[in-house]
Amino acid sequence: MTTTTIRLPAAQPPGTVLGTAPDTGESADAYRATGGYGTATGSGELLAHLAASGLRGRGGAGFPAAVKLRSVRDNGDRGGPDDLGGRPVVVANGEEGEPGSAKDRWLLRARPHLVLDGLARAAAITGAVRGFVYLSDPAAGASVRRALAEHPPPLPVEVVETDHTYVAGEETAVVRRIDGGPALPAAKPPRPFEQGVGGAPTLVANVETLARIALTAARPDLRLDIARGTLVTLSGGPAGPVLTEVPYGIPLRALASRHGVPDAAGALMGGLFGGLVDARALDLPLEPGALTAAGTALGCGAIRFLAPGACPVTCAADAAAHLAAESARQCGVCVSGTSAIGDTLSALAAGTAGPDTADRLDRWSRGLRGRGACGLLDAAAGLAGSLLRAFPGHVRSHLAAPCPVCAAAAPAEGRRLTVSVPEVADPPTAASPAPLPARPPAPLPVPLPSPLPVPLPALKGTP
Ligand code: SF4
């Protein structure tokens, strides 16, 4: 396994999640100076803004945030005001299992107040009486604890740590771990919004979603831009992986160019969850609906571009091997299915696959979806199907003769890419004021729409 540290961008405009100092932890005072922890936007008004903006969750599924908040609130109401066991719970989920994603760990390390403000606002909307921050990154845990001490939230909030695995951030795994069990997915229903932590209706929200809720509370006039901005972790370019923030709608090809691979041969989308796409798909916009309609997914926003000459079969084999190794081994069909897909793709890359390989991959890609308790098996099945769809010529050529690119590649174990987050500086204290930015904003090789293009008119009276 190769772990590469991501690069952080230079200062971004106020109103973005990356903020003005991505490489420095943000103090409570600095956060308040951006309008954070303000009281101008009430919870009912905020929920209306979130509904109107169409903000979607950033954990992978992309569910509308306002719908999820309302569901938890309404299930809590059914318990009645004296039913404390049934009063809602809110969870900031910072456990990112996708090996190519770094945004959630960075966010908790660098902007913990933005997340905690969003968690408190989600609690106010849902009527929650307890909150949790769920994570596995020790540096993120230290950052959140420091922020909780610096600015105590209006409800009890506990940090719960877990071991890092691919499935530990799945919402039912989150609930099980907080309740003292293993961080493994459970059968659904019930879903956490119906019955979660301690049996109470529970909002499990990705930390970037909560950050965008807090930004919307501070700047409701920019709600559409906040809802359409998104963090993405890009890899596969010559300068290594990078975390950046872009508006929905930007073509994937522009992102590839910005990342130094304008002639990318395709991409692995959504971490491992969106499968492979070919070069033609790079004309698609980075927008959840458009990508889903095209048979792929934005997921957590991790995109690995395939450099020209890279072999998509190697890429698929590495991704499938990762999934097979990360199966939680609870569902028999997942244990056998992910192993079979991983072994078959590895044999294809090694030039030892049998003539029925494409048929078997096709059968598994259709028959295994939805049969596990979580999305891992779906990811493996989707990966197999996407390779057949996007790169049929490569599959045929690998069956006909050994692939020189695969043969020249490093041993499989060393090819698997995970990304890590660089250290961010501690928040400045009164005794050590914030240093001047060390790096000027880098010019963009490709003109991009600004994350905050046009200030919107004031929204007084907007439903
Ligand atoms: S589908 Fe696989 S990873 Fe998911 S719960 Fe079942 S065994 Fe575990």
pLDDT, one tens digit per residue, over 30-53 is 999 999 999 999 999 999 999 999
**Is residue 463 domain-resident?**
no
**Is residue 335 domain-resident?**
yes
Same domain, 155 and 195: yes
- Flag whether pLDDT at 117 surpasses 60: yes
Same domain, 374 and 325: yes
Q: How many CB atoms are closer than 10 A to CB 247?
A: 18
> How far apart are the CA of 185 and the centre of ligand 1, in A?
7
Please indicate whether residue 265, judged by its CB atom, sits closer than 6 Å to ligand 1.
no
Cα distance from N-terminal residue to C-terminal residue, the chain: 50
Please indicate whether residue 337, judged by its CB atom, sits closer than 6 Å to ligand 1.
no
Please indicate whether residue 8, judged by its CB atom, sits closer than 6 Å to ligand 1.
no
Q: Counting atoms of ligand 1 from 1, which one is nearest the CA of 166?
A: 3
**Is residue 118 domain-resident?**
yes
- Flag whether pLDDT at 449 surpasses 60: no
Q: Are strands 266-269 and 302-306 parallel, antiparallel or unpaired?
A: antiparallel
Going by alpha carbons, the residue nearest to atom 4 of ligand 1 is 374
Indicate which CATH number applies to the domain containing 121. 3.40.50.11540
pLDDT tens string 159-195 = 999 999 999 999 999 999 999 999 999 988 899 999 9
- By CB atoms closer than 10 A (0-12, 13-18, 19+), residue 399 is middle
Which is more confident, 419 or 445? Answer: 419
**Is residue 462 domain-resident?**
no
Same domain, 199 and 256: no
Q: Counting atoms of ligand 1 from 1, which one is nearest the CA of 372?
A: 1
- Flag whether pLDDT at 453 surpasses 80: no
Please indicate whether residue 167, judged by its CB atom, sits closer than 6 Å to ligand 1.
yes
Residues 86-103: what's their mean pLDDT? 93
Same domain, 180 and 69: yes
- pLDDT, mean over the chain: 88
Helices (H), 351-438: 357-367, 376-390, 392-400, 404-408, 412-415
Least confident of 125-134, 363-372, 399-408: 399-408
* Token pair 């405009």: residue: 13
pLDDT of 413? 59
Going by alpha carbons, the residue nearest to atom 8 of ligand 1 is 328
Least confident of 2-6, 205-209, 237-241, 244-248: 2-6
pLDDT of 374? 85
Please indicate whether residue 173, judged by its CB atom, sits closer than 6 Å to ligand 1.
no
Instruction: Give the relative orientation of helices 357-367 and 376-390 as an angle to the nearest 10 degrees.
Output: 140
> In testing the pocket of ligand 1, which one of 171, 329, 378 has its CB within 8 Å of the most ligand atoms?
329
Q: How confident is the model at residue 436 (pLDDT cuts 50, 70, 90)?
A: very low
Q: How confident is the model at residue 79 (pLDDT cuts 50, 70, 90)?
A: low
Indicate which CATH number applies to the domain containing 336. 1.20.1440.230
CA 320 to centroid of chain Cα atoms: 19
In the chain, the number of structural domains is 2
Tell me the percentage of the chain whose pLDDT exceeds 90: 71
pLDDT of 445? 32
Residues 391-411: what's their mean pLDDT? 85
**Is residue 371 domain-resident?**
yes
**Is residue 215 domain-resident?**
yes
**Is residue 240 domain-resident?**
no
Same domain, 35 and 171: yes
What sign has the CA pseudo-torsion 162, 168, 169, 172? Answer: negative
Tell me the percentage of the chain whose pLDDT exceeds 70: 88
Please indicate whether residue 381, judged by its CB atom, sits closer than 6 Å to ligand 1.
no
pLDDT tens string 244-290 = 999 999 999 999 999 999 999 999 999 898 999 999 999 999 999 99
Going by alpha carbons, the residue nearest to atom 5 of ligand 1 is 373
Same domain, 215 and 272: no
Residues 124-150: what's their mean pLDDT? 97
Please indicate whether residue 331, judged by its CB atom, sits closer than 6 Å to ligand 1.
yes
- Flag whether pLDDT at 411 surpasses 80: no
Q: How confident is the model at residue 4 (pLDDT cuts 50, 70, 90)?
A: confident
Give the residue numbers spanning the domain of 181. 2-227
**Of the candidates 175, 193, 227, which is a domain's last residue?**
227
**Of the candidates 227, 256, 271, which is a domain's last residue?**
227
Which is more confident, 105 or 437? Answer: 105
pLDDT of 458? 33
Please indicate whether residue 339, judged by its CB atom, sits closer than 6 Å to ligand 1.
no
Same domain, 73 and 209: yes
Q: Counting atoms of ligand 1 from 1, which one is nearest the CA of 374?
A: 4
Cis peptide before 435 (omega within 30 of 0): no
Tell me if residue 277 falls in helix, strand or coil.
strand
Residues 203-216: what's their mean pLDDT? 98
Same domain, 207 and 142: yes
Which is more confident, 95 or 446? Answer: 95
Same domain, 75 and 164: yes
pLDDT of 346? 92
> How far apart are the CA of 359 and the centre of ligand 1, in A?
24
Q: Counting atoms of ligand 1 from 1, which one is nearest the CA of 334?
A: 2
Same domain, 136 and 274: no
Same domain, 66 and 213: yes
Q: Are strands 266-269 and 242-247 parallel, antiparallel or unpaired?
A: unpaired
> How far apart are the CA of 406 and the centre of ligand 1, in A?
29
**Is residue 252 domain-resident?**
yes
Please indicate whether residue 168, judged by its CB atom, sits closer than 6 Å to ligand 1.
no
Q: Counting atoms of ligand 1 from 1, which one is nearest the CA of 335?
A: 7
Least confident of 96-105, 298-307, 440-449: 440-449
Same domain, 32 and 165: yes
**Of the candidates 227, 257, 273, which is a domain's last residue?**
227
> In testing the pocket of ligand 1, which one of 98, 166, 167 has its CB within 8 Å of the most ligand atoms?
167
